[in-house]
Every structure is written in C-alpha cells, then in structure tokens.
C-alpha cells in the first residue's frame, strides 16, 4: 500500500486515489495535421522508465482534485507532489513521448 | 398528489409541515437494527434530514461573501470545520425574516468546495430554500455554485467509549486525538465507501455516507459493534 501525499489533504492511502497515467502529455496543437501514426502516439504511447516518472493522480475519495506526482517506478518512492498549475520540478526527465519525433 | 407536487416552499419562509411529514430518511428502516446493536459502550443512530448545502467558489471575495451570509469564516484547510449561527441574529442576507435560526457548520471538502450543515428544517424553522436563496444572493454573479444536497447523504452518529475502537477496525486514518481532535472532519473511505468522518465530541463521531450506502454502512458498523454489546 502506497501512502500518497495529496497537496491539499496530506498523506492518505493509495486506495483513496485514482491513477491518471503520465503527466505533462500536451494535447496536440493541431490534431488535424497529424498522421494516424502521430495521433496514435499521442493517444496510446507513454514512457515507461525505470526511475522517476511524473504522473497524474486524483484524490477521488477526498478533495477530488487532480494533481501531479513524481514517483520512482522502481522503489515506489514519491519524491514530489505538485498542483496542476505548478511547474514540473527541476532536474526531472522531460519530454513525454508524445512530443518525440515519430519514426525516429 | 397533484396538489402536493405544486407546493413550492416560499423562499424565506418555512416548508409546509405536511410536506415534511412525507420524508423518509435513508436509514429509517434500520432503526431497530441500530438500537439492537447499541449498548453501554457504543451506540449507533441516524440523525436524519440535516440540511446540507454544497458551496463551490474560487474567488476569495466570493468565498468571503458566502461565509458572511452563513455567519462564519469559511475554513481554508483540510479537516477544518467552521461554526456559526444562521438566521436569528440577521447574519443571513435574506434568511432572517422569521423568528427562527439554526446553528451551522461548514466543512472544508476541497480548496473550492464546502458543505454547510444545518439542523433539520422541521426543527429549526429555517427552510433549505431560505438558506440556498441567501447564499445564492451572496454569491451573486460570481463564479460558483450553491446547491441543496440534503438528500445526497445521511448522517450516522456513533458514540460511546468504544466508538473509536469500532472505527479503528475499518477507518485507515489515525483517529488518535493528536491527529484527529474534536471538531475535525474529513472526507475519506470507510471500507470502500466514501464518507465524511466528523468528530463532533470526544466520544461522538458522525459518518455521512451517500444515501444509497446507508444500509451497507449501518450493517458494517453494527457488525463491528458486536463485541462491545
Ligand atoms: Zn485531497
């Protein structure tokens, strides 16, 4: 059982939260201009690092707010939590997969 | 029937007593079960028909205006509950026309969401419509919401020297007074059910589950109470 610190409510058990996948995946500026492959990249492809990973969580049984957390996928340690209107903490891996060159 | 459908509570008056007589609380059919489960060390009962109003607002001046209408300073952090008096002293901008008033508690639910809890309108004479009207006027054109959600949840009161022992079996938060003092309320889970958990006195806890979960929560608590009865 992970204990996740909600930025608004403090530490609560994992069972109070809903997982929302990778954070900072920007919606394409012009979806019409994308190829099917690029669109699929945006919809379905996500990073899968061993280590720090910025992801979205919702405190669904508490304040019901979405926020971002940086979790180590290997140790499960949560090193940062931050509101959606706050910048991603410095020094963390950037560039979600959706912004990468397709076919590179 | 048709006659009753057209009864409209006056915005600042009281709801027709005949209409209030038709209400059935979510746990009314469990009164016997709760009484049988209760004993000297721990007791369970429903506190039905509390007036509950959801308030949503973001702008600080909107939050303050609604708080003024309720006669409280709106709580600003998790766990906080503000207490005040609505009506009577004229705190409500339009809800004080009668001679009635109700104590009000405002529970922090989220940075932009609160739950105002007042007494049963049949007891206090303060109609739900009057509270909603007063708060809506206070909110004005600013972004936000004032919604009557009195039927959304019911209130179960677990009290007695072993009340915390019963809750400790199933609530995963630390309920020691150091972490959960009297007057604290949070929304959390009881087993898998979303509840507002509120410590109203040393040995008295209020649980507010959604109406359709009342039966499950009562049964679950009654089971946890068995060893103390
Ligand atoms: Zn929260």
Residues within 8 A of B (CB atoms), A 13-72 only: 13, 15-16, 61-65
Inspect the interface and report whether the beta carbons of A8 and B186 lie closer than 8 Å: no
Inspect the interface and report whether the beta carbons of A62 and B111 lie closer than 8 Å: no
Separation in Å, CA B226 to CA B36, B143, B163, B208, B209: 10, 48, 12, 21, 21
Per-residue pLDDT of chain B (229 residues), as tens digits, is 444 444 444 444 556 778 898 999 999 999 999 999 999 999 999 999 999 999 999 999 999 999 999 999 999 999 999 999 998 654 444 444 445 799 999 999 999 999 999 999 999 999 999 999 999 999 999 999 999 999 999 999 999 999 999 999 999 999 999 999 999 999 999 989 999 999 999 999 999 999 999 999 999 999 999 999 8
- Cα(B33) to ligand 1 centroid in Å equals 34
Inspect the interface and report whether the beta carbons of B110 and A64 lie closer than 8 Å: yes
pTM, rounded to two decimals: 0.88
Inspect the interface and report whether the beta carbons of B111 and A8 lie closer than 8 Å: yes
What residues of chain A lie within 8 A of the CB of B113, using their CB? 63-64
Minimum distance, in Å, between the CA of residue A53 and any CA atom of chain B: 26
Among A62, A66, A81, the residue to mutate for chain B (most B Cβ within 10 A): A62
What residues of chain B lie within 8 A of the CB of A8, using their CB? 78, 110-111
Q: In Å, how far from its chain's centre is CA A102?
A: 21
| ipTM confidence score | 0.84
Give the contacts of B26 (CB within 8 A, at least 6 positions apart): B46, B48, B154, B211, B212, B214, B215
What residues of chain B lie within 8 A of the CB of A9, using their CB? 78, 186
- Cα(A4) to ligand 1 centroid in Å equals 10
Q: In Å, how far from its chain's centre is CA B177?
A: 22
């Amino acid at each position: 059982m992970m204990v996740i610190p909600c930025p608004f409510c403090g530490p609560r058990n994992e069972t109070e939260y809903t997982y929302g996948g990778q954070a900072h995946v920007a919606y394409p500026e012009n979806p019409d201009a994308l190829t099917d492959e690029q669109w699929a990249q945006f919809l379905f492809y996500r990073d899968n690092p061993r280590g720090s990973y910025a992801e979205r969580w919702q405190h669904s049984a508490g304040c019901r707010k979405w926020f971002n957390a940086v979790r180590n996928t290997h140790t499960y340690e949560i090193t940062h939590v931050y509101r959606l209107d706050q910048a991603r903490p410095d020094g963390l891996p950037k560039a979600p997969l959706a912004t990468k060159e397709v076919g590179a | 029937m048709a006659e009753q459908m057209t009864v409209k509570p006056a915005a600042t008056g009281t709801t027709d007593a005949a209409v209030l007589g038709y209400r059935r609380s979510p746990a009314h059919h469990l009164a016997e079960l709760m009484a049988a489960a209760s004993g000297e060390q721990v007791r369970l009962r429903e506190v039905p028909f509390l007036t509950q109003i959801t308030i949503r607002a973001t702008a600080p001046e909107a939050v303050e205006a609604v708080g003024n209408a309720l006669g409280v300073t709106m709580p600003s952090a998790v766990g906080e509950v503000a207490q005040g008096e609505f009506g009577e002293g004229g705190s409500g901008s339009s809800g004080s026309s009668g001679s009635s008033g109700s104590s009000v508690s405002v529970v922090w639910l989220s940075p932009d969401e609160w739950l105002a809890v007042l007494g049963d309108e049949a007891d206090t004479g303060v109609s739900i419509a009057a509270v909603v009207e007063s708060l809506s006027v206070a909110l004005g054109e600013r972004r936000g919401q004032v919604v009557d959600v009195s039927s959304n949840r019911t209130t179960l009161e677990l009290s007695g020297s072993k009340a915390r022992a019963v809750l400790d079996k199933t609530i995963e938060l630390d309920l020691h007074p150091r972490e959960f003092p009297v007057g604290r309320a949070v929304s959390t889970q009881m087993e898998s059910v979303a509840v507002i958990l509120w410590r109203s006195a040393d040995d008295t806890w209020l649980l507010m589950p959604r109406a359709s979960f009342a039966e499950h929560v009562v049964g679950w608590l009654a089971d946890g109470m068995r060893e103390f009865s």
